[in-house]
Amino acid sequence: MIADKDFSWKEVTIYFTIPLFFIISFAGVLTVEPDENFFHLPANWLFFVNFSGAVSGIFIASYLVAAMAPRFKAVSSFHKTFALISFSYLPVFFASLISTVHEIFQLFNFIGLVYMVFLFWRGTGILLGIPSYKQAGFSIIALLVLFAARVVSASFFAAIALTITGDITDVLNS
């Protein structure tokens, strides 16, 4: 579907990525117990960290993955890479919503992650034109870049939130 429609990154961002991560971040804030929140941030700041970290992480990862694509004899397209990463997150989205109902459903997070990896791997060959003998290596490296970009961007926004709320001294002292 992504290959047929040829969505621009702006369309994917407005109509898919922002609503998707808004709902995931909102559900995540509702399910986190105050004692489980490591940073002890208020709910609005926790939402800000989750949402901003996820969306900016996808932008950073899309840029980096598109930049490394020519090394694997693939198409270097930010639009296609951004659409592939965003649409691959759909199983994780549904899994996280299911797991917010009760803690017994946490297994669905793992299942959603595995299916996301599969969709991403399939999409690299179809959308980016990765040769089949390089597809596994490219997918592994790209997913590592994606998860690293999410962690770094979420850490950056967490540092901003902790600095603004004044809770950074509590974190540094512990």
What pTM value is reported for the model? Answer: 0.80
Q: Is the dihedral of CA 61, 63, 65, 68 positive or negative?
A: negative
Q: How many domains does the chain have?
A: 1
Report which of 129, 163, 149 is spatially closest to residue 48, judged by C-alpha positions. Answer: 163
Residues 70-99 pLDDT 10s: 999 888 888 888 888 888 888 888 888 888
In a domain, 24, yes or no: no
In a domain, 33, yes or no: no
Given a cut of 70, whether residue 103 has pLDDT beyond it is yes
Given a cut of 90, whether residue 117 has pLDDT beyond it is yes
In a domain, 22, yes or no: no
pLDDT level of residue 153 (50, 70, 90 thresholds): very high
Q: What is the DSSP string of 119-155?
A: HHHHHHHHHS---TTTHHHHHHHHHHHHHHHHHHHHH
Residue 167, phi then psi, degrees to nearest 5: -90, 5
In a domain, 5, yes or no: no
Q: Helix crossing, 90-99 with 18-31: angle to 10°?
A: 20
DSSP secondary structure code for residue 13 in this structure: I
Question: What is residue 51's predicted lDDT score, i.e. its pLDDT?
Answer: 86
> CA-based angle 11:15:16, to the nearest 5?
105
In a domain, 102, yes or no: yes
Q: Which domain holds residue 77?
A: 43-173
In a domain, 37, yes or no: no
> CA-based angle 41:91:77, to the nearest 5?
95
In a domain, 27, yes or no: no
Three-class SS of residue 6?
coil
In a domain, 28, yes or no: no
Residue type (1 letter), 135 = Q
Three-class SS of residue 85?
helix
Given a cut of 60, whether residue 116 has pLDDT beyond it is yes
Given a cut of 70, whether residue 171 has pLDDT beyond it is no
Residues 23-74 pLDDT 10s: 877 777 666 555 555 556 777 788 888 888 888 999 999 999 999 999 998 8
Q: Which of 22-31, 36-45, 129-138, 149-158 has the lowest mean pLDDT?
A: 36-45
